[in-house]
Structure 1
């Protein structure tokens, strides 16, 4: 009696998804990514108003941004590692729930301290979303085809970046006020949760779980201590002081302990050090840190420049951001499509980084009198460079690792880019605070008039409500200082360009099965047989 032929395997069982299934799954993933990006961009234009209403300082302004980035930085590799061990869909949904909780706390925050704490909770969720969405896409799609779908990711990033400041500006100027900004992302997060439940179906890998709690704790603590030092030094205590020595020593010891645990102790390290034996991964990681410093550290303050130096409303500042994200939108779509067609990616990375360097250097020349059309042109150049660089840097690493390391490798690059961003925002924020305070003091001395409000030297008033003579002092102080922080960011972008030039281009794989062939030939062969049976 002949045996009945085996039923063909489903796309999920074979690990291969059809184009329609991929698009259906992407709908929920892209909405989740939109939520993650919106969480920062929608608040950007509200920050000057938030700091003014809650009686915060320039340091408080910095920490509303840094708190989210720090939580993202510390948890990104953990989310990535968890994605190698547990259900990716469940993890994305958990990240959405955490984001919703943080948003609700932030919306009702009575003080800067509570708001910063809420932003930490938001950051935990956003860290999961940014890391996991790229991991899931890498699991579903081969590197050669991934460029096409990465274009959708870039478009989503650009859409959130364009619409976020606009939506935030309109909300801040409405009856809802700045608190309404934290409600904006909630409907999208809820829809993304249920859309993922319906459309995303991935196999869950069952294997023994070893969570590296010690390594994760040391990593989080070490990064946190150093960023606290960078942010507060120069304001709350001197750069050269006993407090500085204690914080730096503690941070270094904690990170050294994390490296030891990851390399010698942990069974399942959150950051597998063996990944850095690969030249591409090492160079891409260094470049990610430097890009993070240059990109996040400079662009996060653009909205404050338009509102404090140019007297714009939050809505008008949101409209100005379209120059940069428009360039990012176009270059991310075009580069993704061409890379998919050709399989070549290094030229886009190099060209993108050149434009990032040029854009930052040009923005370093602005002050409160620079023509807005010229400022918009400089921002467009920077946007085009970032669009051709960010996603493709992750792609170069994903192309070089096995599927079993995809989650860890993707999150490592995202981790170091966000860490660089946290460092950049902290350092450049401290520099901005110091320079503005110094120039404002000089301005009052030159005017031979005292401030019309009572506050410490690092407080940020509502500039638009000040008398005309006093507005000009603050506008000049901010305008000149913003140019300086772009100049400081430029050398970091130059170093990142050097790293990108040294990366060796490897043609993109046409199948995820190729990633498994070297590490586990028997697994690759079995998966290949399953695909053949399915196609037959």
Structure 2
């Protein structure tokens, strides 16, 4: 091999087909499609809830049902990509997203909108999995951190466009991602899939998620509506683990849906934990930060969206820079530890916020947690991938395990997102009533002999109600909302150090440098 094929650090440069850059641009478009929905939701939810006369519970379901569907669907997509190929699954996911977006735009009521969001979750779940798996197929291990960071950066660079770019993404995939579909017949693959494991897993996760997102909202935690699905979900999750360990791949059954060996190494297990915590914290903060700005800071939806632009750009830029540095240095451990420390400091700073802060404070408070959150996008993914069992020394990695682990990273992220939003909603619902009653008892919510009570069921639409209240009462409700949001920041502050501990406890694995050319890897993969 000539010296031109090597970088200054001695690592091998990628030999890519001429269409690689265009295909990677298509992946960037897909990342934007899958993430822009969350941004739009967070800023528009109060207006949507008010316009469709949605209760807090309905608005809550609208916000979490996409994550619910994503969470259940992503591991299944990881298996389906092995059967039908990554390209077909990606196009199907894009079409599902486009159809559900149109259905949501035409929805006449909140119920139809919730159904549309669930279908969108199935689409975005597939997009997230397929993008990450395609990176595994096309990019050597040491370069994946850089590519993952660039994918995160791409979401911000195209954030001024709109969702019709999904059509462009489909065209790019059809014409430029010219990868062969090889392997055994689809019917044979379908017969050998672990359908029993898929059903048990999907049912158990659905039960647990239902209990978590409705507990303290639609039903009390002691209600049978919560306890029954929660207990059954936990029991069947244990059954799933036992089935995958003892029966999957034996007695004529298909190979394990989620092989437990993916979690067997310490760094992989901690990597999945970091992924869960990252999803929980990073999605809870922007979601409830916008709600805080809308209620406690008296900012319009448009103004609030402008004020959170720093985090919108800091996160992907820090992800790109961190990914490039990880690829250059070949390590990731201390990047992850630093990232969680920054998130802990940022969340702690947010807890000091009260009603009516200045714009400078609002924007400055986003710096630390955004830096940390961005670094973790490539960091957590690299930790999980690098820890999977490899091939013999010098031959790289077992890509089948890496692809499955990659789909589980997407699953753990969505699970963390659902936990984060549910955690905040539970704090909002449970604390709102008690704090309102306490302030009302002191007479602070009364004006001219009339007491103004906003129930917990309308907490998320408080901003719309405040404008109709006397100024003194409105000021009290802004303070109440700020105090309750502080509880969310406190919880996130306590969770972030757990991520730093997990990062420090991980091994500082060195990323592989020696890889086959991309053309050879493509021929060996079913994409």
Work out whether the TM-score is over 0.5: yes
Report 1:331-480 matches (<5 A). 331-401=318-388, 402-445=398-441, 446=443, 447-448=445-446, 449-451=450-452, 460-461=461-462, 462-463=464-465, 465-469=467-471, 470-480=473-483
**Structure-1 separation of matches of 2:205 and 2:277:** 16
Report the 3-state secondary structure (helix = DSSP H, G, I; strand = E; otherwise coil) of the residue aligned with 1:300.
helix
> Is the 8 Å Cα contact of residues 322 and 378 (structure 2) preserved in structure 1?
no
Deviations 1:422-441 (A, max 9, x none): 11211221111222333334
Higher mean C-alpha displacement, 127-136 vs 306-315: 306-315
**Structure-2 separation of matches of 1:411 and 1:483:** 33
**Structure-2 separation of matches of 1:120 and 1:153:** 25
Deviations 1:363-407 (A, max 9, x none): 122121333322322211111101111222112222333112222
Cα deviation, residue 66, structure 1:
1.1
Task: Tell me which residue corresponds to 2:247.
Answer: 265
**Structure-2 separation of matches of 1:112 and 1:309:** 26
CA, structure 1 residues 34+79, in 2 after alignment: closer, same or farther (shift >3 Å)?
A: same
Deviations 1:460-484 (A, max 9, x none): 3414542343432332221111111
Q: Which of 495, 499, 502 lines up with 2:498 in the alignment?
A: 495
Report the 3-state secondary structure (helix = DSSP H, G, I; strand = E; otherwise coil) of the residue aligned with 2:365.
helix
Cα deviation, residue 216, structure 1:
2.2
Task: Tell me which residue corresponds to 2:391.
Answer: none
Cα deviation, residue 459, structure 1:
6.7
> Is the 8 Å Cα contact of residues 215 and 261 (structure 1) preserved in structure 2?
yes
**Structure-1 separation of matches of 2:414 and 2:270:** 16
Work out whether 1:196 is the aligned partner of 2:196: no
Report the 3-state secondary structure (helix = DSSP H, G, I; strand = E; otherwise coil) of the residue aligned with 1:125.
helix
> Is the 8 Å Cα contact of residues 327 and 381 (structure 1) preserved in structure 2?
no
> Is the 8 Å Cα contact of residues 280 and 396 (structure 1) preserved in structure 2?
yes
RMSD: 2.6
**Structure-2 separation of matches of 1:159 and 1:224:** 35
CA, structure 1 residues 494+391, in 2 after alignment: closer, same or farther (shift >3 Å)?
A: same
> Is the 8 Å Cα contact of residues 291 and 492 (structure 1) preserved in structure 2?
no
TM-score normalized with structure 1 length: 0.84
Count of residue pairs brought into register by the alignment: 484
Cα deviation, residue 55, structure 1:
1.9
Report 1:297-316 matches (<5 A). 297-316=284-303
Q: Which of 141, 149, 152 lines up with 1:151 in the alignment?
A: 149
Q: Which of 230, 241, 255 lines up with 2:212 in the alignment?
A: 230
Higher mean C-alpha displacement, 370-379 vs 344-353: 370-379
Task: Tell me which residue corresponds to 1:520.
Answer: none
> Is the 8 Å Cα contact of residues 444 and 473 (structure 1) preserved in structure 2?
no
Higher mean C-alpha displacement, 237-246 vs 492-501: 237-246
Report the 3-state secondary structure (helix = DSSP H, G, I; strand = E; otherwise coil) of the residue aligned with 1:292.
helix
> Is the 8 Å Cα contact of residues 429 and 456 (structure 2) preserved in structure 1?
no
CA, structure 1 residues 257+368, in 2 after alignment: closer, same or farther (shift >3 Å)?
A: same
> Is the 8 Å Cα contact of residues 96 and 129 (structure 1) preserved in structure 2?
yes
> Is the 8 Å Cα contact of residues 27 and 169 (structure 2) preserved in structure 1?
yes
CA, structure 1 residues 314+219, in 2 after alignment: closer, same or farther (shift >3 Å)?
A: same
**Structure-1 separation of matches of 2:216 and 2:376:** 34
> Is the 8 Å Cα contact of residues 84 and 408 (structure 1) preserved in structure 2?
no
Deviations 1:142-170 (A, max 9, x none): 0122233223212023446x65xxx8xxx
Report the 3-state secondary structure (helix = DSSP H, G, I; strand = E; otherwise coil) of the residue aligned with 2:489.
helix
Report the 3-state secondary structure (helix = DSSP H, G, I; strand = E; otherwise coil) of the residue aligned with 1:268.
coil
